[in-house]
């Protein structure tokens, strides 16, 4: 596979060892802006939740993403301190746990793990507590395969990135043929595997598999060289 693109992604290095050069991936980004939470804004197609929390010097900013890769959906959350001195792309709730425990004070950590909100104790906003992240990841798990298939097929692309930013007035965007390096997707697929997956997916779009026709038992027997006398004597040889 050859890649024609104005930017570099982490799997591009595999082009040098690729054998099939007839398949070309024209990786031209296309951005669709779904607007913010206005009355007339289009409906953003992916699950979202609010995620901006501020308590004294413990700012916590959440952007949630949808990575579409070769027909499948991978949810992730970018969590960060308000000063951006620490941030992390998290593909699981456990990774969010690690970020919170490493970057926040004891009282804030207790608020993150709290099952219910209590004034003065669990002061984290509703959308920033662990239970909400669990619900969000679970929602994606239940809608993992067929619901978003049209996003790949209608745009003839193997990759797209959806982003919902709670801090930027609820900004909702989808970038088709976006850059996977920007969201550290190499932690999910290494360069070789990502290149191979894209090659196979694009190959399938270019030459879709034809349905296998149903063949009767009689026709299948003829194809294999059998006839109606294969398993019994011919009439002339009967006694």
For 70-123, the pLDDT digits (tens) are 999 999 999 888 778 899 999 999 999 999 999 988 878 888 888 765 555 445
Q: Could you give the residue ranges of the DSSP H alpha helices within 175-236?
A: 191-206, 217-223
Measured CA to CA, the distance from residue 33 to residue 50 in angstroms comes to 18
**DSSP secondary structure of 114-163:** -SS--TTTS-S-GGGSHHHHHHHHHHHHHT-SSTTHHHHHHHT-SEEEEE
Higher pLDDT, 202 or 41: 202
Across 60-79, average pLDDT: 90
Contacts 24+ apart (CB under 8 A), 203-208: 203/23, 205/153, 205/156, 205/158, 206/23
- Between helix 106-113 and helix 93-103 the angle, nearest 10°, is 160
Only one residue has tokens 């909100």, namely 117
Distance CA 36, CA 34 (A): 7
Distance CA 60, CA 211 (A): 51
Sign of CA dihedral 10, 11, 16, 22: negative
Pairing, β 30-33 against β 24-27: unpaired
Tell me the per-residue pLDDT of 30-50, one tens digit each, with 9 for 90 and over: 999 887 655 556 678 887 775
Compute the distance between CA of residue 102 and CA of residue 104 in angstroms, rounded to an integer. 6
Confidence band (pLDDT; 50, 70, 90) for 177? very high
For the stretch 157-176, pLDDT in tens is 999 999 988 665 567 889 99
User: What's residue 146's pLDDT?
Assistant: 63
């Amino acid at each position: 596979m050859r890649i024609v693109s104005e930017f570099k992604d982490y799997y591009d290095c595999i082009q040098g060892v690729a054998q099939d050069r007839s398949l070309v991936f024209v990786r031209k980004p296309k951005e669709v802006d779904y607007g913010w939470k206005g009355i007339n804004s289009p409906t953003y197609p992916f699950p979202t939740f609010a995620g901006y929390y501020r308590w004294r010097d413990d700012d916590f900013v959440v952007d949630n993403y949808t990575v579409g890769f070769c027909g499948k959906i991978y949810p992730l959350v970018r969590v960060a301190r308000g000063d951006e001195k620490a941030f992390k792309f998290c593909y699981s709730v456990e990774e969010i746990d690690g970020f919170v425990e490493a970057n926040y004070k004891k009282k804030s950590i207790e608020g993150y793990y709290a099952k219910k909100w209590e004034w003065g104790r669990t002061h984290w906003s509703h959308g920033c507590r662990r239970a909400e992240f669990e619900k969000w990841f679970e929602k994606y798990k239940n809608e993992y395969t067929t619901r978003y298939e049209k996003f790949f097929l209608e745009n003839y692309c193997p990759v797209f990135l959806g982003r919902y930013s709670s801090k930027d007035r609820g900004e909702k965007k989808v970038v088709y043929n976006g850059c996977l390096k920007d969201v550290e997707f190499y932690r999910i697929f290494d360069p070789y595997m990502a290149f191979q997956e894209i090659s196979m997916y694009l190959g399938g779009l270019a030459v879709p598999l034809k349905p296998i026709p149903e063949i009767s038992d009689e026709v299948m027997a003829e194809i294999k060289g059998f006839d109606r006398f294969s398993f019994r004597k011919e009439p002339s040889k009967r006694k």
